[in-house]
Structure 1
């Protein structure tokens, strides 16, 4: 299959193709993996019963997916990857600031996904854990190298298979014995409920930095409404289903969180073929997203300093270095994966939410989708080298979030006063949205430029 020849550059109309319904399979498939199932264990670990766990998962997923799908809708209109579009808000060089944080998120998810996959196959694989991790990295590298078209096909197959496999697992989970009172509204904890909602919101927002990467090849005439709803429904249905399944299994299977992948396979009857064929397929699929997004972000960082032509060889070189670095991090074993995963999700929210607020306010409220695409690639264009308003609002918001943070590593004074309720995500959404809109409204002359390609 031919390697994709585009990277961060604009997709011309004559290369556009596809239908928005393909995005349902992309984002359903992105959630159909054991990492999402593991995320569903987290509300149970916070002390919620199944009733409140499921409710928090649904509420958080539906809220977070609004922002995620709003980013997806930008793809056909602009025809460029998500993070390079941030240059219109932060400046050509200023966009490197949020990109550095996004790179940490890609690496964190790559490590989490690979550790879970290696954990799942440990008893069936003839190789050591380190070799399994390397083999997983090689497969991710090859799929991500081929690029956009192959990833779409990969996700569609995964989605269709997942419906059957996870449907079977769900039926089995409903038959498991659980302690009384799990499906009643008793034992409510506001702190745990809000924390669980935050987890689901952040889970959906974690796709925001690269969601438009998978809609940018759609024709410009594509319905924005359809792009939004196919992305929204795919990620809400896929994400909620997997998380609810994880919550039910955490209650029904003793020690489920100790090895999510292996216990899930065991529930369905075990078998080496199922373990390698489906569990690994799902983990590879989501890690391809992280590797592909990390490649886009790296090129976006490097491109202003060097007029880089991304040939297939250059593409392979970048991806190989990124994949090698991420795979190397995976060999650093985690003694408490669940706690690491919980802290990582909260860590993501503190940086992702201010960025998403600035990006969406700029696109929908200020510029109303009208950008000069050529200037996004030009340091001396209308978006400038650094937009200090955006950079300052982003960094100041992160500082303002600190008193509201609540994790096992650090709890801020406001969160302590609220008995552990983490409201940092609310601060991270409202403050940058209002501050950026108010300050940038003074410069509306830069907003009225027509779209140029």
Structure 2
């Protein structure tokens, strides 16, 4: 079925990692607001937001301040990636070949794929717990499988269906979380709701980091959901609709988790606290969250599949992946994640925190390099044909400047890290505060810009080829 700008797009997405031609572009920038607002009203950000008061012992006021600061800062990076989609017309990870080279990008694509799979597995655990909370007779492992199947169907249908569901979800989930806030504030069950916890610099910075990472973790696939928009869409419009949607939706969910935990007795699991804190409307809230996590988790499955296709296509460059290829890979990844999620569900929060803290280290240098390359060096102008060539075309198989900046960007974070695997000496000296993501951004960005601009061979590559796309 052929789609033009004036006709409806096909229900089942036909494109995978290839360039989306003008005749297949569709949608409005407001779709980005609903996608990222509705997609962030979900159990996983609620659980993550609760960590500020659960694990880092902040009180409500300082917890909210840390959450807002983290999302406001991290959301800028996330939305800048989103604005690349209409200009490039290709998924984010395949675009990384223009910065790292056709083979050099493999490491970044692999890391992104692992991230998607980790978030997918984490989300289906929460889907299983939500379903069990609604229907006690459904065991958590069964709920995990049901949640995974629901996300799988949405992910296989693809881009358009994901946007449609989140347009609906924005209104339904937005109303639901406002109702939930109202109930909790009028039925607080603890005497220390406003006084439990206190300000501590390490906990505050850790909470800021978690919120910022929540946004940065979207960076490797956020432009996948804007790439079908017409190339004529202004960068500013794409940026602001994405930024407002993701910051507002995720901040509400993070704060909701903190409020629910503080309104219930100490030591409760976050989703159990949500059910108890929302009282008579608790089952309704869990149903809404269950539907949300199934819908939103399709994004993680979709991103994982595109990453795998990118990895395979790098070597099997004659292969033209189709919707069928995407469906088969979706089923394989879904089955593997179900197996892993059932085994990890008993210690979900511990596994999740370990994962996100590691992601801080590997995602920040990539996002810095990608944004500097797009906005400051290439200024949105890329040779799309070269990106899909086995030898990388004008971008080559490797970009030493990007790989060197990426390695240094990871290394400079090590002294500032605070993870279950390793605590850096500087972090230990400042009571465990994790500043690694901030250091990674501040070092990698100017370093890559300097390396790229001093390399005469790289400048020659920029001046050759067909640079058809521009901001």
Q: What is the TM-score normalised by the length of structure 2?
A: 0.91
Q: Which stretch shifts more, 4-13 or 103-112?
A: 103-112
Q: Secondary structure at the match of 2:280?
A: coil
Deviation of residue 129 (structure 1)? 2.7
Q: 2:338 aligns with which of 327, 330, 344?
A: 327
Q: 1:303 aligns with which of 305, 313, 320?
A: 313
Change (3 A) 1:427 1:275: closer
Mapped pair 1:288 → 2:298: yes
Question: Is the 2:77–2:367 contact (alpha carbons within 8 Å) kept by the matching residues of 1?
Answer: yes
Q: Distance in 2 between matches of 1:344 and 1:372?
A: 35
Q: Deviations over 1:387-406 (max 9, x none)?
A: 12212321232233222111
Mapped pair 1:365 → 2:381: no
Mapped pair 1:138 → 2:154: no
Q: Distance in 1 between matches of 2:192 and 2:270?
A: 25
Question: Is the 1:75–1:214 contact (alpha carbons within 8 Å) kept by the matching residues of 2?
Answer: yes
Deviation of residue 257 (structure 1)? 4.7
Mapped pair 1:347 → 2:358: yes
Change (3 A) 1:26 1:369: same
Mapped pair 1:241 → 2:252: yes
Question: Is the 2:412–2:439 contact (alpha carbons within 8 Å) kept by the matching residues of 1?
Answer: yes
Q: Distance in 2 between matches of 1:340 and 1:309?
A: 36
Change (3 A) 1:130 1:183: closer
Match of 1:444 in 2: 459
Q: Distance in 2 between matches of 1:138 and 1:226?
A: 34
Change (3 A) 1:392 1:413: same
Match of 1:221 in 2: 232
Match of 2:7 in 1: none
Deviation of residue 266 (structure 1)? 6.5
Q: Distance in 2 between matches of 1:80 and 1:12?
A: 10
Q: CA RMSD in A?
A: 2.1
Deviation of residue 178 (structure 1)? 4.5
Q: Which stretch shifts more, 396-405 or 442-451?
A: 442-451
Change (3 A) 1:24 1:261: farther
Question: Is the 2:274–2:282 contact (alpha carbons within 8 Å) kept by the matching residues of 1?
Answer: no
Deviation of residue 351 (structure 1)? 0.9
Change (3 A) 1:12 1:140: same
Q: Deviations over 1:129-163 (max 9, x none)?
A: 32222222111111100111100001111111011
Deviation of residue 280 (structure 1)? 1.6
Deviation of residue 125 (structure 1)? 5.2
Deviation of residue 281 (structure 1)? 0.8
Change (3 A) 1:292 1:125: farther
Q: Which stretch shifts more, 237-246 or 305-314?
A: 305-314
Q: Distance in 1 between matches of 2:427 and 2:286?
A: 42
Mapped pair 1:427 → 2:442: no
How many matched pairs?
451
Question: Is the 2:148–2:338 contact (alpha carbons within 8 Å) kept by the matching residues of 1?
Answer: yes
Q: 1:165 aligns with which of 170, 173, 176?
A: 176
Question: Is the 2:37–2:246 contact (alpha carbons within 8 Å) kept by the matching residues of 1?
Answer: yes
Q: Deviations over 1:71-124 (max 9, x none)?
A: 000000010011111000011111111111112211211121111121122251
Match of 2:3 in 1: none
Q: What is the TM-score normalised by the length of structure 1?
A: 0.94
Match of 1:22 in 2: 31
Q: Which consecutive residues of structure 2, in runs of 5 or more, have no partner in the other structure?
A: 1-9
Q: Deviations over 1:318-362 (max 9, x none)?
A: 111111111111011344433332222211111111110000000
Mapped pair 1:89 → 2:120: no
Q: 1:403 aligns with which of 411, 415, 420?
A: 415
